[in-house]
Amino acid sequence: MNKTVTSVMGCQWGDEGKGKLIDILAGKYDLIARATGGANAGHTVYIPTADGKTKKHVFHLLPSGIFHENTQCVIGNGVVLHLETLLQELDALKEEGITALSRLYISDRAHLVFNYHKIVDGLQEDTKGHKKIETTKRGIGPAYSSKISRTGIRVNELKNFSKFQELYLENLKYYQDIYRFEYDPEPELSNHQKYFEILKEQIIDTSAYLNQKLKNNKSILIEGANGTLLDIDHGTYPFVTSSNSSVGGLLTGLGIAPQYFQDNIGVFKAYCTRVGAGPFPTEIHDQTAEDIRRIGGEYGSTTGRPRRCGWFDAVAAKYAIDINGITSINLTKLDVLSGLKEILIGVKYQIEDSEYTDTVLGDCDMLAKAKVEYISLPGWDEDISSARSYGDLPKNTQDYIEKLQEIIGVKITSIGVGTKRSDIIFI
């Protein structure tokens, strides 16, 4: 069995910069696949334009490797799909002369997100008061809830529209009976008939498709969504997403075996960010956080909300590395730290009478009490965005990278120093 699968996973609270690395690597692979999550994910890539500039693209459902014309893209069974959003992304590419539909394959087992799921998402948040999770309100949680309760509707149901309509109305009534909201189903039902006509040739058994490709020694790059610390099982529950965003979700979300994996690339920012509520041990509460947010453009690509900013959390990093079997690391947005006089790395949690160096507690109330032990390194003033080799980096920058690598125990093999495709150093 040849090992031809590489995964790229976020190992913090999402927004690590996975999209850029996927876009850079995609041309080397036969297929790119999304396995989990939905339109709550926002993967940003900057594509060169004819005039020498770059254009920003944010994908919520399409794999970030869609710009590579010789690459096939797959949306797996573990994804929850809002078809309107997917078609909007395809239309936006078409307007730029990029035909992507014929290269996209959609799992017939993927579950659908409807607009009433979005309404329910907002209503559920409203009932939680000060205990809000602060979701993206994209309907992801309710859609996964429908799936787990076995009332969800899969893409395959669109092939028999009368059955689809029956299931749709049953599911809608279930939510209306609980939350008492008005909703006209006809526009969405009509639209889904149209969506199916557009997409029907691309709806297949993607697990069988991928496994056949693997047997033919084709290479697959898997694009993780969200981040390990948002995983429904291994994240900071209940302040998490609704799917398994760690390595296990990639396997079940595509229906392929772990024996094919050759490399699990973990993506980490050179600092940490988090959107929404939940414990954040290394969060910064002074002007430094605002400086990082401003320089790094730390605002949610899905919601636009300002991200909370903090120092690199090596405790959480080691936890994510262990869970995912990370074999190499892509360190992103290192350029954002230029100009800081001092840079901290969180290396230990003190929680009441216990110390933790490589695990994130499942008890969020306890985790919120963590006192973090830091080590301090001198910063650097130089602009590193034009660096293209490791030797181009200032000594203090190299010292920071090497200290991180020493603490977390996995080799850093690539470093992001800007937003463009070319703003990366491979070591």
Average pLDDT, the chain: 93
Stretch 364-374: mean pLDDT: 94
CA proximity to 349, closest of 279, 272, 276, 268? 279
Q: Are 379 and 340 in contact (CB under 8 A)?
A: yes
Residue 70 phi/psi, 5-degree rounding, is: -100, 10
Residues 183 and 136: their CA atoms lie apart, in Å, by 21
Q: What is the pLDDT of residue 51?
A: 73
CA proximity to 85, closest of 42, 120, 119? 42
Whether domain 5-109+203-264 has CATH 3.40.440.10: yes
- In this structure, of 70-79, 92-101, 399-408, the range with the lowest mean pLDDT score is 92-101
Does pLDDT of 217 surpass 90? yes
Whole-model pTM: value is: 0.93
Residue spans per domain, the chain: 5-109+203-264, 111-198, 268-426
Does pLDDT of 128 surpass 80? no
Q: What is the pLDDT of residues 252-301, one digit of tens each?
A: 999 999 999 999 999 999 999 999 899 999 999 999 999 999 999 998 76
Tokens (6 digits) for 140: 């992801």
- In this structure, of 21-25, 37-41, 364-368, 410-414, the range with the lowest mean pLDDT score is 37-41
Q: Which residues are catalytic?
A: 15, 43
Spatial strand order in the sheet of 5-10: 203-204, 104-107, 72-75, 31-34, 220-223, 5-10, 261-269, 328-332, 412-416, 424-426
**Per-residue DSSP letter, 110:** P
The count of residues in the chain is: 427
Enumerate residues 6+ apart whose C-beta is below 8 A from 163: 157
Q: What is the pLDDT of residue 380?
A: 98
Instruction: Estimate the crossing angle of helix 314-324 against helix 395-408, to 10 degrees.
Output: 50
Torsion of CA 60, 65, 71, 77, to 10 degrees: -40
Does pLDDT of 55 surpass 80? no
DSSP per-residue codes, 277-317 = SS--TTB--SHHHHHHHHHHT-B-TTT-PBPEEE-EEHHHH
Instruction: Supply the CATH classification number for the domain 111-198.
Output: 1.10.300.10
% of the chain residues with pLDDT over 90: 79
Place of tokens 């075996």: 257
Instruction: Estimate the crossing angle of helix 186-199 against helix 161-179, to 10 degrees.
Output: 140
Q: What is the pLDDT of residue 337?
A: 98
* Confidence label for 129 from pLDDT (cuts 50, 70 and 90): low
Does pLDDT of 133 surpass 90? no
Residues 104 and 110: their CA atoms lie apart, in Å, by 14
Q: What is the pLDDT of residue 287?
A: 96
Stretch 363-383: mean pLDDT: 96
Q: Are 155 and 81 in contact (CB under 8 A)?
A: yes
Percentages (nearest 5) of helix, strand, coil residues in the chain: 40, 25, 40
Tokens (6 digits) for 117: 């799921």
Residues 62 and 44: their CA atoms lie apart, in Å, by 11
- In this structure, of 5-14, 298-307, 327-336, 378-387, the range with the lowest mean pLDDT score is 298-307
Does pLDDT of 42 surpass 80? no
Stretch 356-383: mean pLDDT: 94
Q: Are 307 and 273 in contact (CB under 8 A)?
A: yes
Do the domains 268-426 and 5-109+203-264 match in fold?
no
Does pLDDT of 1 surpass 70? no
3-state secondary structure of 34: strand
Q: Are 338 and 380 in contact (CB under 8 A)?
A: yes
Q: What is the pLDDT of residues 320-351, one digit of tens each?
A: 999 999 999 999 999 999 999 999 999 999 99
DSSP run (H or E) holding 220: strand 220-223
Residues 384 and 398: their CA atoms lie apart, in Å, by 11
CA proximity to 154, closest of 163, 211, 35? 163
3-state secondary structure of 152: coil
Q: What is the pLDDT of residues 142-171, one digit of tens each?
A: 999 999 999 999 999 999 999 999 999 999
Q: Are 363 and 346 in contact (CB under 8 A)?
A: no
Q: What is the pLDDT of residue 130?
A: 60
Question: Strands 72-75 and 104-107: what pairing?
Answer: parallel
Question: Which CATH number among 3.90.170.10, 1.20.950.20, 1.10.1040.10, 3.50.50.60 corresponds to the domain 268-426?
Answer: 3.90.170.10
Stretch 408-416: mean pLDDT: 98
Please report, in angstroms and rounded to a whole number, the separation of the first and last CA atoms in the chain: 29
Does pLDDT of 100 surpass 80? yes
Does pLDDT of 377 surpass 90? yes
Residues 420 and 23: their CA atoms lie apart, in Å, by 10
Stretch 343-372: mean pLDDT: 93
Q: What is the pLDDT of residue 64?
A: 83
* Confidence label for 302 from pLDDT (cuts 50, 70 and 90): low
Q: What is the pLDDT of residue 304?
A: 79
Stretch 348-371: mean pLDDT: 92
3-state secondary structure of 355: strand
Quickly count helices (H) and strands (E) in the chain: 12, 20
3-state secondary structure of 26: helix
Does pLDDT of 367 surpass 80? yes
Q: What is the pLDDT of residues 170-214, one digit of tens each?
A: 999 999 999 999 999 999 999 999 999 999 999 999 999 999 999
Q: What is the pLDDT of residues 238-258, one digit of tens each?
A: 999 999 999 999 999 999 999
